[in-house]
């Protein structure tokens, strides 16, 4: 098999892993195994995670948004520990403190999912500064939604990255919606790549239907990033499901949804692979069932992981060198016992 | 009147006010076609149209600033922040601008706006979607601050807020939206007055927002073991009705303050200090503070639950206070 | 005299009034008559204030920044009351509460100078919304410096104005410096008008040396603004003096300063007027001495105005319908007298 | 050692720390070529160069966020906010991000950064350039908070802050930069310990930052009329040394808290509550709070002066407390 085919199959597998993972998150929610319902599935956006993830190296840093499961999987996450975190469990990446919207893993360069729209973008500017300062070859990538294009902090970040020529890439995953608001009702102009250029970045926009094109554009920009020109990439796709688990998307027409879901990067790539006979149906089946097993296991793992000890809530507010916060109950006891103490 | 929810009471207050006053507009992320993240404004765009119900981009600083500017020039905007946690992005517009404009400009220009937001724990929203930040606003001269616990107050306080000439921070609680009750039109208190929700002679329990309900539940349980709590719901934090608090404490001689916001430098501190200042000679025991822990809110439901006062902990703390 | 000449002379007069006013502010400071030293003179930038001010109508709203004296004068301010406010005096526009950085006057549409870089920009979006909503013919203009181009809030404001087609104009007075930092060390790209276009605005950039060109471009944009297309105008000039009263600009070369000060819109217009014989030397002298008198009087007025009663500090925190803040001393007395109360 | 200023002490602390630890960088508006709005970093760019002393655009949110990101990945940034008032633009990065990252990520990632800023009245900076906002930070779990009053503390606290693994908010006072003194190397207290600057038996005066000096001056005057104040400088607000405070109050039986930040929901409230909780049985009088008025700061020098505690008012309040 040539490298290109290998890459395509790898990307296909990764995208399917993401989709299957997200489906299992939905199941886990229905089973009552998640910590709450603020779960944002990235189904339909797999090409952004995988196409960009593919041009990143081990050690590169990145931040994601509230819809970041896929990106982290594309960067090597263990679905078990992710799922456990989504359940708020002890074995999760953040030991049940962060949850879906705050998964992070220092070892894999994941500098954190962020529940503030736009909140993690400037962190990659800082990471890029570190890499540049320490003379490292790493780059840092910020992933965020089209909604974050309306957050002012993004533009401060773009300017800082360009001003200091930092190895930073900004990736906007445009799924056409910010919650119930379609992008054209949130942004007066949709010329995002051009806009980024006026901040001193290289900018491209790509149709997310075709992960190979995403990969290609990401690679082109990444070459610049590694040579001191930060970049902006917009990947156009569609949010297949509601905003969070409880949203039924009543604010959009069925027809639109139907059309939107045709923009399926996985089906598209599968078609290409099959049409060009790059993969056999057996091989595809094998991949699928392997992924199914992997994700079933992850869900099981999450369900079986235990709740954190409740006293752990006082840990990790500060490093051990600083005093832990005193529990309120202890304060009360002290107040009442004061003459004795 | 029939039973309605806290959410509906807010909506009715908005609807009635908007019908009376054509300068009122609503703006915020997804307040229109989506109907509001917590459904408060659901259906309003149908009645009032896109000119008065403005879906905004995700631009907290920009939209609060826009609200400020429109309030300065003749409108009465209600701006909804989806979560009070996001106020950090708009803090300059709220606290450096809205709160100070009347003053800096020597009284010439008013900023009659209402900033609605919801806070609190209970939905596994984790550290950035579960905070109670009323202390910051309370520490900002120039802001008025309402924080209703009941259906009736949701309605009356919001209606009143929409008559005032200064910026009002109006804080709802995410776990109260489904609370049911009637709008009690007869005994509505005036703006700035605390409500004594339960009479009692053994100690005074001062609280607001969601904790009111936990306090009342705990008071019931305490009554069963012979401890009578006087429960005060503050309703507004500016104005702050210290008179009602202190006349109660002077009677009971003991006070317990219960808040969901974290303890250190929180609202509980101010209330404790005000009680001590107002009732020092009458206090049999130190004023106790049962507040949120000094930690970010964890996502795990079991840890989250333990991060803020529960009925049981109010109950047991009251017993300690009474040395029982 | 034809209208054009009349306009030129009016603009000349206004620019000179501004410069003279600012010089008197400098004197007032040396005399100890100002409230503090946070005084930012707009000498060198008069054409922005006057050129744009000329295309505004009575009733139009505007906000300014910390360097906004000139703009307010161009919009009809009484120099006496301005100077008194700069002195923190009772007769000032804000009765001594705001000072130089917070002068405002509702009657003249001045929605406030702002001491937060970028802080007043979104207020004009709100004003524009009011005008549009109430069906008024007014427009709202935000004036700010090049430093504010790096504040994210500006871009949120631009987008909102464009999205809602509000009658709003953004005017960046580029004096090449944000305090001690030259613009090219603060912004990676200087294509500001183009940038504004990617947010959906009309955008122009103009050399502030020639107030007639500023007027022309402002008029062009303003026509669009009054028809639903918000606009952005950058006026290039040079900050003749230090950032605030105590700044000696050690961070820039004398040669640069020298060259910069040659970019003098007043000298330029005076030259044009004289060269083309549009005004006599006598007439010029008359204008100058009239302005000198006016500004001397303003300074005297400020010096003679009284300090506000200190108890006024508790007023205007809230409208009279709300309780005034209780003075700390009264609280203390209450605490100590508690058993008696 | 010779007399140096508070400003110089800060600079020396930065210089020494940067020489020792090459991961320390400085960033902020005009910290480099200008030398810092208040001159703290003057000349440092000559020694350390543009790679380590970074002049930034006017982008508070962006630069604090950049500092957070660089701290997460191996640097130790010191970010200077020119005025603490501007923190409102960076509040999300400070309080939703920096403060919570360690916690949200389950302890995996540290944010060892120092955010320096200066606050307070005294220069006719008016409402947006004169605030004291330490209560907001104190109310934010995850932040450490140092607020030095003396030359020695400016030096030692900053040096210590630059060894810690968590975000430190380091608050200077605009009127202290020219304060002169020696760096007293012998009796330096450890981080988190309050300093008893003056022994006294009649009452305990708890304060920090600029008010320390007014308190000491008032204490001198009080001594002349026979009242002995014990003056405590807190030095850090997290950790907060309640032990030192309460052992003093247990001795004196009376407490006066003096802060420049506005009273309601301010630091004075927390201190008052902590004293009441820790020394209730020992209190002869209510804990008094002499704090900033609950108003925006006016520009007029005469009104500005009256907006915060003065030596005279500390003096007269202490007399009241002692019923003299
Ligand atoms: C600062 C802030 N504002 C609002 C929200 C609420 N919110 C969460 S996700 C979301 C929509 C975000 O849209 P987009 O950036 O396009 O991401 P998507 O959900 O489409 O992936 C909103 C409004 C938030 N979390 N943070
Ligand atoms: C949010 C904020 N950051 C920093 C400052 C301090 N500051 C006051 S003016 C100024 C420079 C502003 O530059 P520019 O916008 O170009 O206006 P100019 O002074 O050149 O007229 C700075 C940094 C401030 N007032 N507000
Ligand atoms: Mg989206
Ligand atoms: Mg400038």
CA separation for the pair C28, C84 (Å, rounded): 10
* C and D: number of Cβ contacts within 8 A: 161
Task: Provide the pLDDT for residue A341.
Answer: 45
Work out the pLDDT band at A338, boundaries 50, 70, 90: low
> What's the rounded mean pLDDT across residues A264-286?
97
Ligand 1 binding pocket includes B86 (Cβ within 6 Å): yes
- Say if A338 falls within a structural domain: no
- Say if C325 falls within a structural domain: no
pLDDT, one tens digit per residue, over A145-202 is: 999 999 999 999 999 999 999 999 999 999 999 999 999 999 999 999 999 999 999 9
- Residue entry with tokens 């806009």: A195
Residues of chain D with pLDDT under 70: 1
- Say if C40 falls within a structural domain: yes
- The string over D78-109, giving b where at least 16 C-beta atoms fall within 10 Å of a residue's C-beta and e elsewhere, is bbbbbbbbbbbbbbbbbbbbbbbbbbbbbbbb
CA separation for the pair C120, A90 (Å, rounded): 47
Label residue B18 exposed, middle or buried (CB < 10 Å: 0-12, 13-18, 19+): buried
Judgement on whether residues B266 and B305 belong to the same structural domain of the protein = yes
- Say if B256 falls within a structural domain: yes
- Say if C128 falls within a structural domain: yes
Work out the pLDDT band at B187, boundaries 50, 70, 90: confident
CA separation for the pair B304, B291 (Å, rounded): 14
Task: Provide the pLDDT for residue B186.
Answer: 82
Task: Provide the pLDDT for residue A339.
Answer: 52
Judgement on whether residues B209 and B296 belong to the same structural domain of the protein = yes
pLDDT, one tens digit per residue, over D252-298 is: 999 999 999 999 999 999 999 999 999 999 999 999 999 999 999 99
- Say if B190 falls within a structural domain: no
Please provide the DSSP assignment of D241-263 as one string: -HHHHHHHHHHHS-EEEEEEEES
Ranges assigned E (strand) in chain D = 4-5, 24-28, 53-55, 76-81, 114-119, 144-146, 168-173, 180-181, 195-198, 203-207, 229-233, 236-238, 255-262, 288-292
> Which of 74-93 (B) contact C at CB < 8 A?
74-75, 77, 92-93
- Say if C37 falls within a structural domain: yes
> Is residue C316 less than 8 Å (CB to CB) from chain B?
yes
| CATH code: domain of residue B277 | 3.40.50.920
Domain encompassing residue D165: 4-181
CA separation for the pair A88, A92 (Å, rounded): 7
Judgement on whether residues D165 and D257 belong to the same structural domain of the protein = no
> Which of 110-149 (B) contact C at CB < 8 A?
110, 141-142, 144
Neighbour subunits, D (≥3 Cβ pairs < 8 A): A, B, C
| CATH code: domain of residue C44 | 3.40.50.970
Tell me chain A's radius of gyration from C-alpha atoms. 21
Judgement on whether residues D153 and D238 belong to the same structural domain of the protein = no
Judgement on whether residues B240 and B211 belong to the same structural domain of the protein = yes
| CATH code: domain of residue B18 | 3.40.50.970
Label residue D175 exposed, middle or buried (CB < 10 Å: 0-12, 13-18, 19+): middle
Task: Provide the pLDDT for residue B1.
Answer: 62
Ligand 1 binding pocket includes A317 (Cβ within 6 Å): no
- Say if D186 falls within a structural domain: no
The tally of domains found in chain B comes to 2
Judgement on whether residues B263 and B171 belong to the same structural domain of the protein = no
Minimal CA separation from C136 to chain D, in Å: 32
Mutate to test the pocket of ligand 1, among A22, A63, A117, A151 (most ligand atoms within 8 A of CB): A117
CA separation for the pair C145, D182 (Å, rounded): 42
Domain encompassing residue C33: 3-316
Pairing verdict, β B229-233 and A110-113: unpaired
Instruction: Among B124, B157, B181, identify where a domain stops.
Output: B181
pLDDT, one tens digit per residue, over C158-195 is: 999 999 999 999 999 999 999 999 999 999 999 999 99
Quick check: C341 pLDDT over 90? no
CA separation for the pair D167, D68 (Å, rounded): 9
pLDDT, one tens digit per residue, over C104-140 is: 999 999 999 999 999 999 999 999 999 999 999 999 9
> What's the rounded mean pLDDT across residues B83-105?
98
Q: Could D100 and B276 be called an inter-chain contact, meaning their C-beta atoms sit closer than 8 Å? A: no
- Residue entry with tokens 């109260």: B176
Q: Residue B11 Cα, ligand 2 centroid: separation in angstroms? A: 42
What are the angstrom distances between the C-alpha of D38 and each of C39, D34, D62, D133? 16, 10, 22, 19
Judgement on whether residues B283 and B228 belong to the same structural domain of the protein = yes
Judgement on whether residues B36 and B167 belong to the same structural domain of the protein = yes
Contact status, residue D210 vs residue D148, Cβ threshold 8 Å: no
- Say if C253 falls within a structural domain: yes
Nearest to C126 among B70, B277, B279 (CB): B70
Judgement on whether residues B47 and B146 belong to the same structural domain of the protein = yes
**Element of type H or E holding B119:** strand B114-119
Ligand 2 binding pocket includes C234 (Cβ within 6 Å): no
Work out the pLDDT band at A86, boundaries 50, 70, 90: very high
Task: Provide the pLDDT for residue A340.
Answer: 46
The tally of domains found in chain A comes to 1
Work out the pLDDT band at C293, boundaries 50, 70, 90: very high
Q: Could D265 and B135 be called an inter-chain contact, meaning their C-beta atoms sit closer than 8 Å? A: yes
> Which of 120-179 (C) contact B at CB < 8 A?
120-131, 133-134, 140, 152-153, 156-157, 159-160, 163-164
Quick check: B155 pLDDT over 90? yes
Judgement on whether residues D110 and D165 belong to the same structural domain of the protein = yes
Judgement on whether residues D172 and D236 belong to the same structural domain of the protein = no
Cα–Cα nearest to C311, from C95, C77, C21, C55: C95
> Is residue A314 less than 8 Å (CB to CB) from chain D?
no
Nearest to C185 among D55, D285, D299 (CB): D55
Return the SS3 of D198: strand
Judgement on whether residues D254 and D168 belong to the same structural domain of the protein = no
Return the SS3 of A213: helix
- Say if A227 falls within a structural domain: yes
């Amino acid at each position: 098999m040539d490298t290109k085919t290998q890459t395509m199959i790898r990307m296909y597998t990764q995208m399917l892993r993401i989709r299957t993972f997200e489906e299992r998150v939905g199941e886990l929610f229905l089973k009552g195994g998640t910590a709450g319902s603020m779960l944002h599935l990235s189904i339909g956006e797999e090409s952004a995670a995988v196409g960009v993830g593919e041009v990143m190296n081990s050690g590169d840093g990145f931040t994601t948004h509230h819809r970041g499961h896929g990106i982290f999987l594309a960067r090597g996450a263990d679905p078990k520990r992710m799922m456990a975190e989504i359940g708020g469990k002890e074995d999760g990446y953040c030991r049940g403190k962060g949850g879906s919207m705050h998964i992070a893993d220092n070892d894999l360069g994941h500098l954190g999912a962020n529940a503030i729209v736009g909140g993690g973008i400037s962190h990659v500017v800082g990471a890029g500064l570190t890499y540049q300062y320490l003379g490292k070859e790493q780059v840092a990538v910020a992933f965020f939604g089209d909604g974050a294009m309306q957050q002012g902090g993004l533009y401060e970040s773009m300017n800082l990255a360009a001003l200091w020529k930092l190895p930073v890439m900004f990736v906007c995953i445009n799924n056409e919606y910010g919650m119930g608001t379609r992008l054209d009702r949130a942004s007066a102009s949709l010329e995002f790549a051009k806009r980024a250029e006026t901040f001193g970045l290289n900018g491209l926009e790509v149709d997310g239907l075709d992960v190979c094109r995403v990969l290609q554009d990401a690679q082109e920009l990444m070459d610049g990033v590694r040579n001191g020109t930060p970049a902006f990439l917009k990947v156009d796709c569609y949010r297949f499901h509601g905003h969070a688990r409880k949203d039924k998307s009543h604010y959009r027409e069925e027809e639109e949804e139907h059309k939107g879901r045709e923009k399926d990067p996985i089906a598209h790539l599968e078609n290409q692979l099959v049409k060009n006979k790059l993969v056999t149906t057996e091989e595809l089946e094998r991949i699928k069932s392997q992924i199914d097993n992997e994700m079933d296991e992850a869900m099981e793992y999450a369900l079986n992981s235990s709740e954190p000890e409740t006293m752990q809530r006082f840990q990790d507010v500060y490093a051990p060198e600083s005093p832990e916060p005193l529990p309120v109950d202890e304060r009360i006891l002290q107040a009442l016992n004061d003459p004795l103490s | 009147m029939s039973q309605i929810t806290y959410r509906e009471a807010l909506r009715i207050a908005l609807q009635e006010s908007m019908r009376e006053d054509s300068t009122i507009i609503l703006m915020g992320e997804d307040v229109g076609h989506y109907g509001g993240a917590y459904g408060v404004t659901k259906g309003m765009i149908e009645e009032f149209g896109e000119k008065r119900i403005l879906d905004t981009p995700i631009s907290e600083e920009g939209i609060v600033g826009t609200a400020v500017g429109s309030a300065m020039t003749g409108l009465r905007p209600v701006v909804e922040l989806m979560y009070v946690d996001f106020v950090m992005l708009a803090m300059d517009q709220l606290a450096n601008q809205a709160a100070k404009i009347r003053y800096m400009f020597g009284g010439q220009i008013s900023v009659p706006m209402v900033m609605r937001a919801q806070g609190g724990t209970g939905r596994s929203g984790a550290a950035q979607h579960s905070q109670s930040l009323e202390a910051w606003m309370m520490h900002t001269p120039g802001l008025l601050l309402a924080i209703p616990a009941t259906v009736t107050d949701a309605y009356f306080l919001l209606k009143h807020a929409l008559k005032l000439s200064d910026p009002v921070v109006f804080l709802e609680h995410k776990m109260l939206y489904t609370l049911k009750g009637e709008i009690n039109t007869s005994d509505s208190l005036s703006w700035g007055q605390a409500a004594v929700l339960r009479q009692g002679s053994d100690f005074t329990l001062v609280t607001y927002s969601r904790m009111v309900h936990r306090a009342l539940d705990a008071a019931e349980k305490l009554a069963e073991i012979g401890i009578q709590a006087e429960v005060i719901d503050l309703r507004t934090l500016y104005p702050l009705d210290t008179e009602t608090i202190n006349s109660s404490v002077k009677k009971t001689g003991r006070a317990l303050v219960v808040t969901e916001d974290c303890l250190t430098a929180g609202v509980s501190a101010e209330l404790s200090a005000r009680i001590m200042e107002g009732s020092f000679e009458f206090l049999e025991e130190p004023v106790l503070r049962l507040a949120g822990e000094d930690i970010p809110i964890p996502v795990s439901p079991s840890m989250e639950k333990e991060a803020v006062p529960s009925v049981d902990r109010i109950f047991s703390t009251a017993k300690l206070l009474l040395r029982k």
